[in-house]
A and B are shown apart, each in its own frame.
Chain A
Amino acid sequence: MKKGFVLMESIVVILIVTISLLTIFSSYNKILSKLREENKYDTTEYLYMTNQVKKIIQKYNLSPSIFNMKQPSSSTNILKEYKENDTYESLLDTYNVKKVYILSNINNLAKDNLKKFDGYIIDYIKKLDTSDEEILLIVEYQKPLLVSDTAYSCNNPDNNYLCDSKNNKLYETYIASLRWD
């Protein structure tokens, strides 16, 4: 009479169960992270805010050069860091603008260009679906969180917000884009 299992049978069963549990676990994590994703791109308020930013840039006639994502170049046109006009800077600070980009050929992101942009912008660009001819004004906002709760302090490793340790302020990043006509 056969009692128990041979070694091979046990090994095969354990392998199959482990592989199926690992697959389920990885899909579980993917589903959860997708569901927990917060809406930080192209929200209604920030689209209108980007329109105000566009008005300011056009009013001050900054004539920015357009950065072509297809061709890596030595400099990135990041308007926010353009220091010549102080009024323009303080106007953009009203809306907590961190960076402004004017980009074309967004679907053809050359590898060298990845280093010039931060993770948020790269993530955002990858989700866009634009034609090559389209030129986009992309604005990155850093909205400060006004919280006094210690759960949100810079020292708390559980918080998922950007931290400015010097001022002990927390920020959330929002990105919105409009066509640059």
Chain B
Amino acid sequence: MKNNKGMTLVEIIVSIALISITIIFLMVLFINVKDINDDAKINNTYLITKSLQVKTIEEDLENSSTLNISNCNIFEKFKNIESSKPNLCIKFQFNNNVSNIGYLGFYYSTTTSSYVTSYIHTYTDDADSKNNIDVRETRTLKDFENYSLQDNKIKCFYKYTQDSINNGAFYLRIPIIGPDYKDYTFNLSYYGNVSINNLNSICSQT
């Protein structure tokens, strides 16, 4: 009588081979998903930090009925700056009040050894600053040079369309690449009473 119990060696080998192929596929899938998930985590962290920063600045802009925009000396308001590396400083004066000013700075921080975006809003000339949020970015010099730096400057662009005296639409754009090589361009917009002073020395008008 034939004994049909058990499996032949060939059947076992084939089953193991088929299961291995399936498992390999699953492993590749999980590894790829994990890598993308890790990238997404970094991306979200930077997006959230940048969004908070933009929100802070935009709220200050919205609360102001008049806005004077000019360049500023980055060493006056920000600390621990690597002076040999490019930097950018934009000043927002709110409601024509010399004591109500926001400073937006992009510079290389000696503390973090990376480029940093920082915003300080001062209510009086020498009082405590409020809402100082840093977005820390690290990128290779090569990428920064190719994308955001030109002639050793941080790129900056603005558009201003006037519709009546001292009133118009203002748009500021500063291209930034994060350490994950993704785009974290800074976009700021304002519509209302605007005057622009000496911004052309640091930003190109488009």
- B is bound to A: yes
Tell me which of B32, B55, B169, B192 has the highest count of chain A C-beta atoms within 10 A of its own C-beta. Answer: B169
- Whether A24 pairs with B25 at a CB distance below 8 angstroms is yes
* A143 partner residues in chain B, CB cutoff 8 A: 187
Interface segment, one of A43-51, A74-82, A98-106, A123-131: A43-51
- CB within 8 Å for A149 and B22 given contacts A32-B36, A94-B169: no
| Bound Cα distance from A13 to B10, whole angstroms | 14
* B192 partner residues in chain A, CB cutoff 8 A: 55
Nearest-CB distance from B84 to chain A (Å)? 25
- CB within 8 Å for A91 and B168 given contacts A44-B51, A45-B189: yes
| Bound Cα distance from A97 to B192, whole angstroms | 18
- Whether A52 pairs with B191 at a CB distance below 8 angstroms is yes
| Bound Cα distance from A49 to B10, whole angstroms | 68
B189, closest chain A residue (CB): A49
| Bound Cα distance from A149 to B32, whole angstroms | 28
Q: B47 contacts which of A24, A39, A48, A87 (Cβ < 8 Å)?
A: A39
Q: B36 contacts which of A21, A25, A36 (Cβ < 8 Å)?
A: A36
- Whether A44 pairs with B169 at a CB distance below 8 angstroms is no
Nearest-CB distance from B57 to chain A (Å)? 9
- Whether A52 pairs with B168 at a CB distance below 8 angstroms is no
Is A4 positioned at the interface, with any CB of B under 8 Å from its CB? yes
Is B140 positioned at the interface, with any CB of A under 8 Å from its CB? no
- Whether B4 pairs with A91 at a CB distance below 8 angstroms is no
- Whether A24 pairs with B26 at a CB distance below 8 angstroms is yes
- Whether B190 pairs with A87 at a CB distance below 8 angstroms is no
Q: Which residues of A contact B (CB under 8 A)?
A: 2-5, 13, 17, 20-21, 24-25, 28, 31-32, 35-36, 39, 43-46, 48-49, 51-52, 55-56, 87, 90-96, 143, 146, 149
Q: Which residues of B contact A (CB under 8 A)?
A: 4, 8, 10-11, 14, 18, 21-22, 25-26, 29, 32-33, 36-37, 40, 47, 51, 54-55, 58, 62, 146, 155, 157, 159-161, 163, 168-171, 175, 186-192
